[in-house]
Amino acid sequence: MSPSTPVHEDKRSPMLALGILSISFLMSVSNAVSGTIPLMEKYFSDVSRANVELLIVIPTGGVLLGTVISGLVSNLLGKKYTVIAGLSISLVFGIIPAFIFNYPAILISRAMFGVGMGIFTPLSVSYITDLFPEETRNRLLGWRNSVGAIGDSIMLFIAGFLINISWHTTYLVFLFLLVPILLVMFFVPKHYDNIVSEDGKEVEEDVKIKPTTNFGVIQLAFIFLLVCLFYSAISLKLASYVVNNHIGSAAAATRIFGFLVLCSIFSGLIFEKIAKWFGKYTVTIFYIITAISMIVMSFTTSIPVLLVLVLAAGFCNGIINPALTARMVHYSPKGSMNFTTSIIIIGINIGFLIAPYFFQFFGEMIGNAGPANMILWSGIFYVLLAVYDLVVVKKDKLTI
């Protein structure tokens, strides 16, 4: 069928959107089981602390590999079965530590868990950008962030009960992945594998088009990398800042982070309206608010004020991410959305991976690697991102 030939328009069921959004239930590779580190250190007494912590972060490396091969798998199986395969890989390898207590086996299983995530995560975006018109797309991209935050909360809640039994049973939390597997299986039809929305109509995509990329996509991936890198200053440095400056305890800082989940849910739900209000300046405006929040944060000595500033930065991040994601439609070459999404996800993961080393290097370079100074400079870098965004919006004629 020709790429421009209209196909029969399906009456979109809300369950289709639910099935697609459910792919994003698991957006964090480590949160749910990070609490097992102290218990695993005792169990693996002959393994170094760094190697035990590696069990928590190794899925990120797996995500990078899975993201690279996602397009190849999708070409072989189609979108629907690629998502189911990726979710199934993450489920099976995710629960292996509950039954096998050998360190090398657990290390491999955790890496493969990440590979599964890397396979299905790009499709959680490309399904939305391919199938839905702009207004609906913006709404669902915002909801996607909310669904991820809700999924993380549910899994953290379940893991909190399971860890009281043993660290092994905590890994049974990944049985939760049965939920998106079943929702995709029953509510996301196979015929949507090669359907895209153009001018309000569903058309069948030409599968013979070879996926390509361009400078715009690479530029966007680099921006995602920088956003994740600078935003990491909060998660990496705030607790140390609070404790070192006798503002509060580590527990107080942890409670502040706990509110970020609610913030992510809220920002995702209202993203569509925010994007309508601010249009093409959405990203720029929320860069600036983030910058102000982080700069003021670095001088604050009050827990309540810190809470407000962290929530402001978290809310802004919940707007910036889907807004930048929506730009993928503008930059992505025709028939290459899955490949584009994979490139973006690689940029995001690299940003998070290099953050600790970047702050160490930059701190040594300027002669002050203190937590407050790193938060301050991250705020300054957000100002530079805002200036660059104004240039990009004008140059590339972006609508969001």
pTM of the model: 0.84
Q: How far is CA 90 from CA 121, 157, 171, 303, in A?
A: 11, 19, 11, 38
Give the position of tokens 């999924």: 151
Point out the least confidently predicted range of 5-9, 101-105, 246-250, 293-297.
5-9
Backbone angles phi, psi at 309, to 5 degrees: -70, -40
| Stretch 224-232: mean pLDDT | 95
Residues 105-111, mean pLDDT to the nearest whole number: 95
Out of 3.40.50.80, 3.10.20.520, 1.20.1250.20, 3.40.50.720, which CATH number does the structure's domain 14-204 have? 1.20.1250.20
Q: Looking at beta carbons, which pairs linking 11-19 to residues 24 or more positions away fall under 8 Å?
A: 13/187, 15/183, 15/187, 16/187, 16/188, 16/189, 16/192, 17/140, 18/183, 18/187, 19/180, 19/183, 19/184, 19/186, 19/187, 19/188
Mean pLDDT in residue range 350-377: 92
Which residues have C-beta within 8 Å of that of residue 182, sequence separation ≥ 6? none
Nearest in space to 143 (alpha carbons), one of 273, 9, 338: 273
At residue 205, the pLDDT reads 66
The whole-number pLDDT of residue 199 equals 61
Q: What is the mean pLDDT of residues 40-60?
A: 86
Per DSSP, 2 falls in state -
Q: How confident is the model at residue 341 (pLDDT cuts 50, 70, 90)?
A: very high
pLDDT digits (tens, 9 = 90+) for 120-165: 999 999 999 888 888 889 999 999 989 988 888 888 888 888 988 9
What is the per-residue pLDDT for 396?
92
> Does 83 or 238 have the greater pLDDT score?
83
Per-residue pLDDT, averaged over 233-246, amounts to 89
Nearest by Cα to 162 from 150, 175, 149, 151: 175
Q: Give the residue extent of every domain in the chain.
A: 14-204, 215-396
Residue 5's pLDDT band (cuts 50, 70, 90): very low
Q: How confident is the model at residue 3 (pLDDT cuts 50, 70, 90)?
A: very low
| pLDDT higher than threshold 80 for residue 338 | yes
Beta-strand relationship, 195-198 and 201-204: antiparallel
Q: What is the pLDDT of residues 54-87, one digit of tens each?
A: 888 788 889 999 999 998 899 899 999 999 999 9
Please give the pLDDT value at position 200: 62
Distance CA 323, CA 134 (A): 12
* pLDDT, tens digit (0-9, with 9 covering 90-100), for 7-23: 444 456 789 999 999 99
Q: pLDDT band at 207, cuts 50/70/90?
A: low
254 or 36, which is more confident? 36
Task: Tell me the C-alpha distance between 28 and 118, whole Å.
Answer: 11
Q: Are 294 and 233 in contact (CB under 8 A)?
A: yes
pLDDT of residue 336: 87
What is the Cβ-side half-sphere exposure of residue 257, based on CA atoms within 13 angstroms?
Answer: 17
Judge if 14-204 and 215-396 fold alike in CATH terms: yes
The pLDDT tens digits for 243-294 are 889 998 877 887 787 777 788 889 989 999 999 999 999 999 999 999 999 9
Rounded to whole angstroms, how far apart are CA atoms 60 and 113? Answer: 9
Q: Which two tokens stand for residue 286?
A: 């929320």
- pLDDT score of 33: 84
**Residue, of 29 and 57, whose pLDDT is higher:** 57
Note the CATH number of domain 215-396.
1.20.1250.20
Is residue 46 pLDDT above 80, yes or no?
yes
Where helices occur in the chain by DSSP H, the ranges are: 14-22, 37-43, 49-77, 79-95, 103-131, 134-162, 167-170, 178-187, 215-244, 250-278, 282-297, 303-326, 328-331, 337-366, 371-396
Distances (CA, A) of 198 to 5, 132, 201: 11, 9, 5
> What is the pLDDT at residue 12?
63
pLDDT exceeds 80 at position 29? no
Percentage of the chain modeled with pLDDT above 70? 93
Q: Looking at residue 8, what is its pLDDT? A: 41
Query: What mean pLDDT comes out for the span 314-326?
Result: 94
